[in-house]
A = this chain, B = another copy of it.
Amino acid sequence: MNAIGTLFRVQLFGESHGPAVGVVVDGIPAGLSLGPADFEPDLERRRAGAPGTTPRAEPDIPELLSGVYQGRTTGTPLCAIFRNADARPADYDRFSDMPRPGHADLVSRIRYSGYADPRGSGHFSGRLTLALVAAGVVAKKALPGVSFGARVIEADGRVDIDAAIAEAAADGDSVGAVVELRASGLRAGLGEPFFGALESLAAAALFAVPGVRGVEFGDGFAAARMRGSEHNDPIVAPDGAMSKNGSGGVNGGISNGNELVVRVAMKPASTIAKPQRTWNFATGAMDELSAPGRHDACIALRGAVALEAALAVVLADLELQALARGASLPNGGIPS
């Protein structure tokens, strides 16, 4: 379903070329300072126009329908919507008959019995991440003292990312990338194992973002190639500080107070100018498909802030759960 969270809950809705995309955030602590301007920095990070991104220019200012009064959150659900505009749905007509390789076109037909809104990929559009970014802004407000970072560290296997993207775009192709997320200032003790492990909840939110193919924490897949004596982090102080951070800030499903480090593999965009082979349901035969318009060559560029938002949403939820068990007590509930 389109909701996530236990105490801090996020419900998305919308289709790319319907009236609006949006989000309801429930469980927001009352009294947080929040207004439309708070959304602007993260929305700007996501906005179209960067190299390798589509030029669809929409203002994308959230309209706050509820949950805020006199510049403060009320504690009741906040609904934020983004009106759709600049729609050229005809661009997408062909994909109804010829599903894009790598895209949700095919599975959407099956899953929604042919009734999904196909325009602009509908509910599967990257535009849905606008709503997620908005939820992330609210989540960060509920995490005072925590700072976030999201960075594309590699694209097409290269660290000269701009060049990698430009070359692919010139070829009518797209590139995958790795995004590294960091969150510092988290309290130790966040996580609800077994199944509410911090990694579990974070990965669930991250894999929901379109195009994510892998998630790893700390040393991640590299840990599978290490010995324990190499991977394990020596604890060097009673507050849990470690001399290195191979665990990426989380052990046994629970934050350890060190910086949280997550890396996310994003696939190359499916919609490319270069011709691709696929089934044509109209003709009942193999066919060749190309998408000549302008498309994101590297979805990770705009996706990074959405991934950061997904992580923030999960951490806000875990923070509220930690408070429920007395984590606000002196010394963070650490037994003396």
Contact = CB atoms under 8 A, between A and B. Distances in A.
Interface in A174-222: 174-178, 188-189, 191-197, 199-201, 203-208, 210, 212-222
A7 to B, nearest CB: 5
Contacts of A268: 223, 226-228, 230-232
Interface stretch (A40-48, A50-58, A107-115, A143-151): A107-115
A90 interface: no
Contact of A19 (B66, B112, B321): B66
Contact of A76 (B116, B279, B321): B116
A157 B254 contact: no
A69 B115 contact: yes
Given A11-B26, A65-B19, A223-B265, A251 B104 contact: yes
Given A74-B15, A323-B326, A274 B229 contact: yes
Copies in the complex: 4
Given A79-B13, A324-B324, A216 B265 contact: yes
- 10 tightest Cβ-Cβ pairs between the two chains A and B: A104-B252, A114-B335, A214-B216, A102-B232, A157-B225, A228-B268, A107-B254, A174-B228, A324-B324, A101-B232
Contacts of A76: 2, 13, 15, 112, 116-117, 122-123
A128 interface: yes
Given A63-B19, A224-B177, A74 B117 contact: yes
A102 B178 contact: no
A66 B106 contact: no
Given A7-B321, A226-B156, A113 B31 contact: yes
B326 A228 contact: no
Given A69-B117, A74-B116, A110-B332, 13 more contacts: A3-B26, A13-B26, A13-B78, A156-B227, A168-B227, A173-B227, A176-B224, A176-B228, A200-B204, A203-B203, A216-B265, A223-B265, A229-B276
